[in-house]
Structure 1
Amino acid sequence: MTGEMSLMLISLLLVRLVLGCPEECICSARSETVDCRNRGLSEIPSSLPREAQVLYLQGNHIQGLNQSVFADLALLEQLDLSNNNISGLHTRSFEGLINLQVLNLTSNYIQHIDEKLFGSVQHLSKLDLSANSISSLPSSFGNGLKNLTWFAISHNKILNISRSLLDSLSNLQVFHFKDNPWLCNCSIVGLKLWLEYYLFRGGTIDEILCEMPEKLKGKDLLKVPYEIYRMCPPSSSHILLPSSHYVNPDHQTRNEHVLKGEHEDNSDSDCEPKLKPKPLNLRHAVATVVITGVVCGIVCLMMLAAAIYGCAYAAIMAKYHRDLKKVQHLAQATEQGSAEEKEPLDNSLA
């Protein structure tokens, strides 16, 4: 019995050596899935099988990712590093993961994202950076993420996202923003305009609630009136806001106070009527144009029908008057002929 147990242990050790499975992890028969969850690991295990396609490392104590730590895992498609203590990421941490499609980095302590960090993961389609301490994303962040369709940055410290970054995520379908301290001043206009277009083409988001300035705290960015941003420079949004309408200087000054977070006199605001313009919505604008076009088309058809009816009526009346005149002429000619025939007859009788 002891001999059989020893033989089994030796066999397992030989399998691990052949397949290259770390002793802290559990590998599938073909080493396509490597499970290292909740193993108390402080670093990435060495000798990971090259055949691995799925690697679970969540629930450990990993604090950082060294350069090219996954360089030998060219076949890896899914990597889960959530619920660790990761605070540092090397620029080339994910180098070699040329087939990676899903990356989960939630619930760590990441503060900085290098602009070249995801440059080698060209096939990445799902990226989750939620529940970290990220305060900003570089504007060139999305240059290597053309295939990204699902992206989450919820529960971070992000104040704003540049319009150039958003425009580079051309295939994005789902974007989660929730629970960030969004600064809804002039710098947020680019994001606001991009969201309108993104939702118009069918994108999905959760919500963006303003944290600052105080006057807009708790407001949904999509519902903040554009009038507040009319005094912002064009560089804030990269697109000029509608400015053809006259804006009362008093209201412009009031909006400046709102964006700067300054307090207003309550008595003043109670006496003066407050403008409550509806936020500009691209979908509503398109619907308005379509409805206007339909109404104009109907009006044009009615006018055309009225014109055709009028022409037909005029033609019929003209023909009627011509026929009436002919009848009158014939009647007069008949009466004259009857009178001439009657006179000779009267003379002969006399």
Structure 2
Amino acid sequence: MTTQVCMSFLLRHQFSVLMQANPVSIPNPFGCQKSNWLLFLSIILVIHVTHGCPEKCLCYTVSKTADCKNRGLTEIPTHLPPEIQILQLQNNRIWKIHQNSFTGTPLLKILDLSNNSISSLAPGAFQKLKYLQVLNLTRNLIHYIENKTFSFLPHLKELDLSSNSIIRLPETLGNSTGNITLLSVKHNKLQRMDRVLLESLPNLKVVLFKDNPWQCNCNVFGLKLWLESFLYRGGISDGIICSAPGIRKGKDLLRVPYELFGACPLRTAHVHVASAHHHGLEHRGSHKHLHHGEHGESGRASCEPKPKPRPGSLRHAIATVVITGVVCGIVCLMMLAAAVYGCAYAAITAKYHREHLAPARQHGTPEEKQPFESSLA
């Protein structure tokens, strides 16, 4: 009976205990034993810590959502309910994601970290979230995305990296990221993007490139080929607008003629013909990966178009064909004239022989006739 009374007492005063009230000052009118009181207090505290909600968050059991936005947080809160599937952390001051930040919430499907101060992502920071489907990292301070940052996210479908300061993307986002259908890198500082990265996302349906300082030189030739093929297959994109060089500034990369990339070194081994669905073009593209030598300043310098563009080569080729045709025509005319002359000479010679030599052979000379007449006598 004493134990039941103590349980009832502790349950009625649970809230005051958890709000950091002094346990010693709590009245104990039921005469509960101290050992029982401490035992039940410990059990209640463990249950609260394990299944409770952080002080600055609101947790909703039905929707399995933890609302921690606009709370001034500087790090990922701990002791979140392990069953939550939606975690809202936008509009805080979180500056770093640690490798074990989400070990306590393995069932997350939607994670919103937008509008924070995140500048770096630890390798494998999200690898415990194998059910994650949507990851929003917009409006942060991210500069680099390393290889395998998003590894082991087999269900990830939407990755939003827009409105950061990203200047470089890796050749792959990580292992098991092939199910991504939406990728946004708009409003960053990207000058180029490896075609290898995009080809590693075979289920991509929407890709957003807007508002980046794209350098439309040899480094984006592979991206141009991929984008045309992507649009032809029914993909959706907001396009790539060139920022440099000056002659191409403000132009859509898809409208830059292939001839302007004619001086670029060939970096592909397999060439195929593909039609651009939105522009009615036919082009040749590559299926093999770009070489690693394209990285670095030396790679960029070597990829700059040569001063002599392809249109000049075409003009020289056309001139060569015309000159060759003229020379061949003259030679043919000379051969025809020689043939005509030979035929005319042969005809005149034959006529001369018929008119002068044939009668002489027929009648013979007087000296030739005398022996014949004498023999008759």
Asked if Structure 1 and Structure 2 have the same fold, meaning a TM-score greater than 0.5 normalized by the shorter chain, the answer is yes
What is the identity, as a one-letter code, of the residue corresponding to 1:209? Answer: I
SS in 2 for 1:234: coil
Find out whether 1:64 has 2:85 as its counterpart.
no
Q: Describe the shift of the 1:226–1:169 C-alpha distance in structure 2 as closer, same or farther (beyond 3 A).
A: same
Find out whether 1:174 has 2:184 as its counterpart.
no
Deviations 1:7-58 (A, max 9, x none): 6945997795463210110000357100000000011111011001000000
SS in 1 for 2:80: coil
Which residue among 74, 77, 92 is the counterpart of 2:109?
77
Q: Describe the shift of the 1:12–1:173 C-alpha distance in structure 2 as closer, same or farther (beyond 3 A).
A: farther
Q: Describe the shift of the 1:94–1:116 C-alpha distance in structure 2 as closer, same or farther (beyond 3 A).
A: same
Within 5 Å, which residues of 2 pair with 1:42-121? 42-121=74-153
Deviations 1:101-131 (A, max 9, x none): 0000000000111111111212100000000
SS in 2 for 1:144: coil
Deviations 1:265-286 (A, max 9, x none): xxxxxxx9xx9xxxxxxxxxxx
CA RMSD for the aligned pairs? Answer: 3.3
Mind listing any 5+ residue stretches in structure 1 that lack a counterpart? 1-5, 243-258, 263-271, 276-350
Tell me the residue number matched to 1:335: none
What is the identity, as a one-letter code, of the residue corresponding to 1:83? Answer: N
What is the identity, as a one-letter code, of the residue corresponding to 2:154? Answer: Q
Scaled by the length of structure 2, what TM-score is found?
Answer: 0.60
Which residue among 181, 195, 220 is the counterpart of 1:188?
220
Deviations 1:78-114 (A, max 9, x none): 0000000000110021121010000000000001111
Tell me the residue number matched to 2:53: 21
Which residue among 239, 244, 267 is the counterpart of 1:212?
244
Measure the CA separation in 2 of the matches of 1:57 and 1:237.
Answer: 46
Aligned residues between the structures: 250
Measure the CA separation in 1 of the matches of 2:268 and 2:217.
Answer: 9
Measure the CA separation in 1 of the matches of 2:249 and 2:268.
Answer: 20
Measure the CA separation in 2 of the matches of 1:137 and 1:238.
Answer: 25
What is the identity, as a one-letter code, of the residue corresponding to 1:157? Answer: K
Measure the CA separation in 2 of the matches of 1:74 and 1:89.
Answer: 18
Q: Describe the shift of the 1:136–1:18 C-alpha distance in structure 2 as closer, same or farther (beyond 3 A).
A: closer
Q: Which has the larger radius of gyration?
A: 2
Measure the CA separation in 1 of the matches of 2:60 and 2:165.
Answer: 35
Tell me the residue number matched to 1:145: 177
The sequence identity of aligned pairs, in percent, is 48
Scaled by the length of structure 1, what TM-score is found?
Answer: 0.65
Within 5 Å, which residues of 2 pair with 1:249-264? none
Tell me the residue number matched to 2:229: 197
The Cα of 1:144 is off from its aligned counterpart by: 2.8
Measure the CA separation in 1 of the matches of 2:259 and 2:196.
Answer: 24
Which residue among 145, 150, 154 is the counterpart of 1:122?
154
Q: Describe the shift of the 1:30–1:17 C-alpha distance in structure 2 as closer, same or farther (beyond 3 A).
A: farther
What is the identity, as a one-letter code, of the residue corresponding to 2:74? Answer: S
What is the identity, as a one-letter code, of the residue corresponding to 1:226? Answer: Y
Measure the CA separation in 2 of the matches of 1:12 and 1:205.
Answer: 52
Mind listing any 5+ residue stretches in structure 2 that lack a counterpart? 1-11, 20-43, 273-282, 285-303, 316-377
Which residue among 202, 213, 226 is the counterpart of 2:258?
226
Measure the CA separation in 2 of the matches of 1:142 and 1:119.
Answer: 4
Measure the CA separation in 2 of the matches of 1:93 and 1:169.
Answer: 20
Measure the CA separation in 2 of the matches of 1:209 and 1:22.
Answer: 45
Tell me the residue number matched to 1:301: none
Which portions of structure 1, spanning 4 or more consecutive aligned residues, are displaced by more than 3 angstroms? Answer: 6-18, 236-242, 259-262
Measure the CA separation in 1 of the matches of 2:224 and 2:156.
Answer: 26
Q: Describe the shift of the 1:226–1:30 C-alpha distance in structure 2 as closer, same or farther (beyond 3 A).
A: same
What is the identity, as a one-letter code, of the residue corresponding to 1:229? Answer: F
